[in-house]
Amino acid sequence: MTKRLGFSLKLALFALLSTTIVGADAVYAAPTQQARAERPRLGLVLSGGGARGFAHIGALKALEELRVRFDVITGTSMGSMVGGAYAAGYSAKQIEDITLAVDWPRMFAPRPDRNRMDWQGKDNDRRGLGPTEIGVTKDGLRFSGQLVPSQELDIFLQRSTQPFNSVYDLSELDIPFAAVATDLESGQRVVLQKEISLAQAMRCSMSVPGAFRPAEYKGRVLVDGGLIDNLPIDLARDMGAERVVAINVGTPLGKRDDIKGVLGVMAQVVNILTEQNVRKSKESIRPGDIYIEPDLGGLTSGDFMKSRDIIEIGYKAVMDNKELFAPYIEDEYDYRFYLSARYEKTLVDGEHNVSEVKVAGLEHVNPEHVLATIDIDTDKPVSNEQAAEAARDIWAEGDFQSVPFRFEPGPNGTEVLVFEPEEKTVGYSRLMFGGNVQSDFQSSNTFNVVLSHTWGWLNKWGGEWRNEIQLGEVKRFLSEFHQPLGVGGRWFLMPRVSYQWEPFDLYVGDSDTPVGEFRTETFEAGMFLGYEFPRLGRISAGAGWYDSRIKTETFITDLKYTEDSSFVSLRANFDTLDDASFPRRGFYFDGSVTYDFNPQGSIGEPDSNTRYEVKAAIPLQLGERTTALVSGRAAAASEVGNYNMGGVFNLSGSPYGRYSGDRLAFGRVMIYHDVSRTMRELRMPIYLGGTFEIGRAWNGTITEVIGDQGTPWRKAASLYIASDTWLGPMYLVAGRTFGESSSLTFYWGRLLW
């Protein structure tokens, strides 16, 4: 992005030096030298408004065309970002180019890029755990205080303001600048100008309560300045402005029908507070001041994907009132020279001669572990983009809520790249929640809820203890300790114990009415040695012991089967999917083989039993919004095993667990089309899709797959509508197993299989 920005800056400078800037209409004569000397000091005031603040960019484009020069700038929230960038030296066109190039879905993603996560993070994601984490401390539960992580926003602000990172007095920028924030403890206005970087001032000013975590400055906890002064006209006057141009893009109050749910009420409360202080600011407008309120209609603070339209509205708002700016128009030659001097200040190549990489400010996490996470070659120049990518990699490990970075002066003209990861406010003893619900609105209903507790950084090598309990249709308990072998080590040891209780309905023939129920109980304990491949997956081998009990209850008789055995196992898991529910890129593979030896059972006692299971999935893009997910599963046991099919997307239309056996083969093609038209990360995307499924479960040896006519291959299909909500994906599925049964089913939870 830095190289692209540098090119665009040079191109803009060339254009300025070789052509004439478009001026105001000829009816406005250029002011004389005396008139310019007598011009009052002009202040620009830009309000907050989220995505509506893009209108400020269009307004600045128009003001540059009209040749209006400002002496001071103040801003709040999005107004601080646009106003601060302009005050520093960026042109309106440069700010527009940067804005249009931003990946806004990535900016507001609730978690890191999935491809950057470690194996445990991906596993949690597959099973629907998180992203919300609750800290467990000696003082009680602790919450994060944010809906959206600020990591990408922090990187964006740092990179955008890199040419000015040595400035800690914003009055010394090309145009003196100040931003406004709100002290969360006192409710007072905080002026951000002295002893603060431009990036930090922007970040503090736009810490929207509940969305982004509060920022800290001089011992104060700060949130969005719009709560107390969304249109800081008085601040501009305090900085010496004799006249002001105030542009208000604040969100108007919603009507009753627009206020829905908790988030809607919270947004309305914030808008009420904002509207009250804006009304007060408007009362301070004096003769000679200019007030502009772009007609943004129904556009909201979250319409980041409509930036082009919003910029154009801001441009039009100024041009529709251009006669008001006649007293402030500059001489064309002088103004062109002024702009070219501003552009020269932003011409940086973004590369640094780095002699050392440091990690600072950590209390619990080992800094050496952080350094082992990144790949920075100090023998070559380091770009801003490389530093940003390294920060994203560190953040994706899951230990930090944000990873700021900076370049400091080093020895002999070099620089030191310093990462300052911010340890999670929830701490490293954390709770996560998940679960699933399946209902056919009749007799087949399942419900499971999962509570997971992770206690990380129990030693300097990053030892982590995880406990998980599941209640509902399937009851499960898991406890495991993941111990890396060395700082940043990829080899690990993992002792593990687990318990699972699971029921299965027992069916006879083609009847959809169960004649009884299986109940299985399994206790397992083992030790595993493994190796983790960064961003790819891991392999592990282990040995242990298990005890399994199966009880069958039918209308004829009750049967019981018990078995205990020692085992050795080998497993490989690789996951590069970009999304756990609706992936568009990557692949998934999970394969395992387990050998049970010397099993002791109540019915027959085979000398050994070998179990195999393979799962795989790969998405294929069929268009910009359409994807086909091809997946399959195969499993077999040489003596004793139980694998089942039935339920949503697993022979849709059939009851959950309808078909079972010690052999299983299953394949599925799943199509989903995104019918949403707004930004994915700021809404709940809606998908329409369908599936075709084929599978078989039977009892016998592998050689019986072809010849056994008593267990036919079954085919199924479904049509569905789904939404990837903040609570996880939800599906409404109309499915049918051909020649057998059909159902309308609701499902909430992760569904890769």
Write the pLDDT tens digit of every residue in 406-441. Answer: 888 899 989 999 999 988 888 899 999 998 898 888
* pLDDT at site 751: 76
Arithmetic mean of pLDDT, 466-487: 94
Ranges of H-type helices in 284-427: 307-319, 332-344, 367-373, 384-396
Arithmetic mean of pLDDT, 366-395: 90
Query: Do 499 and 489 touch, CB atoms closer than 8 A?
Result: no
Arithmetic mean of pLDDT, 573-590: 94
* pLDDT at site 640: 66
Does the pLDDT at position 151 exceed 70?
A: yes
SS3 content of the chain, % helix, strand, coil (to 5): 25, 40, 35
Give the range with max mean pLDDT: 202-206, 234-238, 335-339, 343-347.
234-238
| Longest Cα–Cα distance in the chain | 108
The alpha carbon torsion through 256, 262, 266, 269 (nearest 10 deg) reads: 40
Please give the DSSP secondary-structure letter assigned to residue 280: H
Query: Do 195 and 66 touch, CB atoms closer than 8 A?
Result: no
What confidence tier does 519 reach under pLDDT thresholds 50, 70, 90? confident
What is the average pLDDT value for the chain, to the nearest integer?
A: 84
Q: What is the 3-class SS of 168-195, one letter each residue?
A: CEHHHCCCCEEEEEEECCCCCEEEECEC
* pLDDT at site 301: 82
Query: Do 232 and 181 touch, CB atoms closer than 8 A?
Result: no
145-184 burial code (b ≥16 CB/10 A, e <16): bbbbbbbbbbbbbbbbbbbbbebeebeebbbbbbbbbbbb
Compare 475 and 561 and report the one with higher pLDDT: 475
Does the pLDDT at position 681 exceed 60?
A: no
Angle between helices 2-18 and 384-396 (to 10 degrees): 150
Query: Do 581 and 685 touch, CB atoms closer than 8 A?
Result: no
| Both tokens assigned to 134 | 């609750």
Compare 641 and 25 and report the one with higher pLDDT: 641
Does the pLDDT at position 199 exceed 70?
A: yes
Q: Measured between alpha carbons, how far is 531 from 363 in angstroms, rounded to an integer?
A: 27
* pLDDT at site 19: 31
Residue 240, classed as helix, strand or coil, is coil
Does the pLDDT at position 171 exceed 70?
A: yes
Arithmetic mean of pLDDT, 180-185: 91
* pLDDT at site 132: 81
What angle (nearest 5°) sits at the alpha carbon of residue 660, between those of residues 590 and 442?
105
Residue 350, classed as helix, strand or coil, is coil
* pLDDT at site 747: 93
Q: Measured between alpha carbons, how far is 646 from 649 in angstroms, rounded to an integer?
A: 8
Q: What are the residues whose beta carbons fall under 8 Å from the beta carbon of 205, sequence distance 6 or more? A: 48, 75, 76, 77, 80, 81, 179, 180, 181, 192, 222, 224, 225
Does the pLDDT at position 315 exceed 90?
A: yes
Query: Do 349 and 6 touch, CB atoms closer than 8 A?
Result: yes
**Up-side HSE of residue 465: CA atoms within 13 Å toward CB?**
4
Q: What are the residues whose beta carbons fall under 8 Å from the beta carbon of 542, sequence distance 6 or more? A: 494, 496, 526, 527, 528, 529, 568, 569
Arithmetic mean of pLDDT, 263-278: 68
Please give the DSSP secondary-structure letter assigned to residue 52: G
Write the pLDDT tens digit of every residue in 101-115. Answer: 888 877 877 778 888
Residue 50, classed as helix, strand or coil, is helix
Q: Which secondary structure element, helix H or strand E, spans residue 748, and what is its range?
A: strand 742-748
Arithmetic mean of pLDDT, 281-298: 91
Sequence letter at residue 185: E
Query: Do 127 and 751 touch, CB atoms closer than 8 A?
Result: no
Does the pLDDT at position 34 exceed 70?
A: no
Other C-beta atoms closer than 10 Å to the C-beta of 706 total 7
* pLDDT at site 483: 96
Other C-beta atoms closer than 10 Å to the C-beta of 101 total 11
Does the pLDDT at position 563 exceed 50?
A: yes
User: Tokens 């069916």 label which residue?
Assistant: 507
Q: What is the share, in percent, of the chain residues with pLDDT greater than 90?
A: 47
Report whether the peptide linkage leading into residue 131 is cis, meaning its omega lies within 30 degrees of zero.
yes
**Nearest partner of 562 among 545, 576, 546, judged by Cα:** 546
Q: What are the residues whose beta carbons fall under 8 Å from the beta carbon of 706, sequence distance 6 or more? A: none
Does the pLDDT at position 12 exceed 50?
A: no
| Both tokens assigned to 718 | 């479904």
Does the pLDDT at position 5 exceed 50?
A: no
Query: Do 31 and 329 touch, CB atoms closer than 8 A?
Result: yes
Write the pLDDT tens digit of every residue in 643-668. Answer: 888 889 999 988 887 888 889 999 99
C-alpha dist (Å) from residue 611 to 491, 614, 677, 753: 26, 10, 46, 19
Write the pLDDT tens digit of every residue in 42-90. Answer: 999 999 988 999 999 999 999 999 999 999 999 999 999 999 999 998 9
Write the pLDDT tens digit of every residue in 138-148. Answer: 888 887 766 67
Arithmetic mean of pLDDT, 278-292: 91
Please give the DSSP secondary-structure letter assigned to residue 41: P
Q: What is the share, in percent, of the chain residues with pLDDT greater than 70?
A: 84
* pLDDT at site 683: 56
End-to-end Cα spacing for the chain: 38
